[in-house]
Amino acid sequence: MGICVNVSCLVLAVGGATAPVQMSSSPPGSLSDSTSKAMSHPSVSPVHPSRSKSILELNFFALSEVVKDYIHEAKAHVGEKVEMDLNHYVDMQVSQKQFPQSGKNSNKCPIKELVIAADTDKQKNSLELSQVFGGSHEGKFKHYILLVGNTGMGKTTLIKKLCLDWSRDCIPQFDFVFLLDGKALNATEPICSLQTLLLSLSTFAPSCLDPEAIYTQILAAPQRVLIIFDGFDELRDYESLLQPQEKDLIASLQKDSKAQAFTVRQLYSAILQRILLPGCTLLLSSRPRGTASQLLRRADSLVEVCGFTSTNVETYFSKYFTDPALRTSALHSLRSSTYLHLLCWNPGLCQMVCLVLEESKSLEVLPRTLTGLCHQVLCLKLETDRRSTQSSVKCANEMQTKVSTHSEETRLDGNNVTSSRTHTTLPFQSAARGRRRLQSEEFELTQRFAVGLVFQSTAQRQRLHSLSETSIGTRVASKQALVTKHLEGLSYSSLSPAQVLEACHCIYEASARLLTHLAANLPEFLTFHGVLLGPPDVFTLQKALERAASENRSFSLDLEASWIQIRGLRTLVSLCNIKTYKACIADVITLWRLLEQNGEMELLQGAVSKFEIHPLKATQVCHIENLASLVDIHQKKRLSDSLYSNVISDEGAESLAAALPHMKSLTDLDVKYNKVTDVGAQSLAASLRNCTKIKTLRMWNQCIPYGVFDRLQQQDSRILCH
């Protein structure tokens, strides 16, 4: 089955039909093969939902009564513990990510680069929670799974839902599920065994009358065991546990894992390295930060929690506000506040928004910034604590706790955002030599909150402290002046894309005057390549660009590899002062088709005329397929004719040449009538030598000297003129 791609005049044929291209199977070094024998147990074959009960009964038939009783008790205990925590649970989208192709540096890329994907691809690769472990649709089960998501996106909630599903017999391939907390690593005494770790120290562990019998069953059938690791802040925490163990320690663990002679760290490490329970299934949750070379070599699945969609938000509100009148009022308030609505993309922040909207009748205006939202939540907490010492407003999650802690420190210091610890709080100031600067989401959010807090009104500040305004007014004014001087002194052209975005956030939280200065000094070419642009990020950037429009400034945007959603892409592209933009071709085509379906022809014309793909970087088969779709749109005259100006130059040809050897199903490639010169032509010709399945390469144009093209044709007869 072959693929014929015509990049300049769009031809895409797949043996007469369209079919997906399989890039690779499990990543090199995956332990799926090493545990295949264990996983061939008949009770863990792909399961159809209608057969779940029979398979569960079949497995139970082989278990002793003691083990059966323990499993029943464990499931009842888990259900009781987690059910109340999931009162407002909403089924969220999770997305299966592709591992990099095998190669010298394939496992050395930051995990963030793996989770950045086109919004269109996210929809195509979305999974139901029940599909996380693979099975009937994928053809085989996954045994070493990474679950990633930023702070507040719901990783822990999703894990609790998995545990609840297991307690309800919805995951029949596992007899035992153990949840291990990263915080347990603080215990450093060598007094644990694997038996005590699983049956006594794991989260949700019930009392066990016969631990010997249960542990024996676990060792006898590890393929029926799921171990979940949660509470790890970053991937580097796992990486440190994957360092080689001493031979003597390995021997001791394998000889007698019941010995009370190991630390929690040693046992965690042994499980992750498959020294202990090598046939079990592992699910590891973390934030997508840092390089994870060890994990990527071992894992056979990478799943990302994608956050709330608009539908998810409305479902969450329907569960949070049980009173219909209050729910209607809250949804009306939410829709009237664009920024709060966009913050609800993050489930943790969505809960904070609900807390505030519960009290919205007592508010003159709704918060319009993150600072305003966090400030209001803190005020609610303080007021509730004053009314009752036995009840308090729950913070949405760990993120809000850290924000609250920092704000309390700031409040007690008279709103001093430059105390002994806050020279690192000012945006983009270098930390002391040798000190590793925090790069977590909490730090970024706390930084924005701290900056915004300094610029709050007198009335807002007085709600957070009992000091008189006279006693702190002078200090607040001096801090405002310091922050203003710092932000106005930034050289935006020398900042990284992530820093430019963070500056936009901090300034949006601070003052309108600073926003005007930002708009006047942003570089004309704005790149956010490789920066995750969530809905609140797009909103903040939109405000800066709109202010710049009033100053008659225009910009070119690079939004490739930014994970921007289609609605965010539409928002930015439709701004009148955007001259050109680059974005994922698949998402651009989706946007065009959406505008066409809605009859928004003026926006469509602008979206087409502003789009550029120079220089083209083609590194995956889908990039070529997307290019083919782009030209197909032109050929069928469904959209504007500004497309032939999107030509491929030498840089694009070189990127294409690097990708060609990996495109195993590509048979015909047409890049003629572009701006490829002799340099790009020779790159493509050299790559062609390694592409035995390609039958034709058409690349002639007037930029290639005739003598060069003639010589290339003599070297390879597959190179054609027309």
Other CB atoms within 10 A of residue 330 CB: 21
Note the pLDDT of residue 620: 59
Amino acid identity of 273? Answer: Q
Instruction: Render pLDDT for 197-242 as a digit per residue (tens, 0 to 9).
Output: 999 999 999 999 999 999 999 999 999 999 999 988 778 889 889 9
Cross-strand bridge partners of residue 696 = 668
The alpha carbon of 674 is separated from its chain's Cα centroid by a whole number of angstroms, namely 36
- DSSP structural state of residue 507: H
User: Does 183 score more than 70 pLDDT?
Assistant: yes
User: Does 497 score more than 90 pLDDT?
Assistant: yes
The span from the CA of 577 to the CA of 17, in Å, is 42
User: Does 546 score more than 50 pLDDT?
Assistant: yes
Query: Highest mean pLDDT: which of 79-93, 125-139, 427-441?
Result: 79-93
Other CB atoms within 10 A of residue 60 CB: 15
What structural domains does the chain harbor? 65-100+110-305 (3.40.50.300), 614-721 (3.80.10.10)
Using pLDDT thresholds of 50, 70 and 90, give the confidence band for residue 467.
low
Instruction: Render pLDDT for 619-667 as a digit per residue (tens, 0 to 9).
Output: 555 666 677 677 666 555 554 336 333 457 787 788 788 878 877 767 8
Strands (E), 471-628: 525-527, 555-558, 578-582
Q: Which two tokens stand for residue 614?
A: 């120079």
Note the pLDDT of residue 663: 73
pTM: 0.75
Amino acid identity of 347? Answer: P
Query: Highest mean pLDDT: which of 65-69, 453-457, 641-645?
Result: 65-69
Q: Which two tokens stand for residue 125?
A: 């690769």
> How confident is the model over 236-254, as a mean pLDDT?
91
Note the pLDDT of residue 51: 43
Whether 492 and 503 have beta carbons less than 8 Å apart is answered as: yes
Using pLDDT thresholds of 50, 70 and 90, give the confidence band for residue 93.
confident
The span from the CA of 98 to the CA of 109, in Å, is 13
Other CB atoms within 10 A of residue 102 CB: 12
In the sheet that holds 3-6, the strands lie side by side as 12-14, 3-6, 666-670, 696-698, 719-720
Note the pLDDT of residue 431: 41
Note the pLDDT of residue 251: 95
Using pLDDT thresholds of 50, 70 and 90, give the confidence band for residue 552.
very high
When mean pLDDT is compared across 9-18, 39-48, 590-599, the lowest value belongs to 9-18
548: closest CA among 530, 524, 529? Answer: 524
669: closest CA among 642, 635, 693, 634? Answer: 693
Contacts (Cβ under 8 Å, ≥6 apart) of 355: 377, 380, 393, 396
> How confident is the model over 144-173, as a mean pLDDT?
94
Note the pLDDT of residue 703: 86
The span from the CA of 153 to the CA of 149, in Å, is 6
When mean pLDDT is compared across 81-90, 151-160, 356-365, the lowest value belongs to 356-365
- 284 three-class SS: strand
When mean pLDDT is compared across 181-195, 375-389, 592-606, 628-642, the lowest value belongs to 628-642
User: Does 16 score more than 70 pLDDT?
Assistant: no
Instruction: Render pLDDT for 41-59 as a digit per residue (tens, 0 to 9).
Output: 323 333 344 444 444 445 6
The alpha carbon of 519 is separated from its chain's Cα centroid by a whole number of angstroms, namely 29
Peptide bond into 615 cis (omega under 30): yes
> How confident is the model over 303-330, as a mean pLDDT?
93
User: Does 72 score more than 90 pLDDT?
Assistant: yes
* Crossing angle of helices 347-358 and 370-387, rounded to 10°: 60
User: Does 36 score more than 50 pLDDT?
Assistant: no
583: closest CA among 528, 541, 638, 624? Answer: 528
Note the pLDDT of residue 492: 93
Per residue, the 3-state secondary structure of 254-270, as one string, reads HHCCCCCCECHHHHHHH
Whether 519 and 322 have beta carbons less than 8 Å apart is answered as: no
Note the pLDDT of residue 297: 86
User: Does 23 score more than 60 pLDDT?
Assistant: no
Look over the chain and give the mean of its residue pLDDT values, rounded to a whole number.
79
Using pLDDT thresholds of 50, 70 and 90, give the confidence band for residue 447.
confident
When mean pLDDT is compared across 163-167, 417-421, 436-440, 585-589, the lowest value belongs to 417-421
Write down the residue that tokens 């106005």 correspond to.
488
Whether 211 and 195 have beta carbons less than 8 Å apart is answered as: yes
When mean pLDDT is compared across 247-251, 401-405, 415-419, 438-442, the lowest value belongs to 415-419
Whether 129 and 306 have beta carbons less than 8 Å apart is answered as: no
The alpha carbon of 93 is separated from its chain's Cα centroid by a whole number of angstroms, namely 11
Query: Highest mean pLDDT: which of 37-41, 84-88, 407-411, 540-544?
Result: 540-544
Using pLDDT thresholds of 50, 70 and 90, give the confidence band for residue 295.
confident
The secondary structure element, H or E, covering residue 240 is helix 235-241
Write down the residue that tokens 């660009």 correspond to.
545
Whether 590 and 611 have beta carbons less than 8 Å apart is answered as: no
When mean pLDDT is compared across 256-270, 441-455, 513-527, the lowest value belongs to 441-455
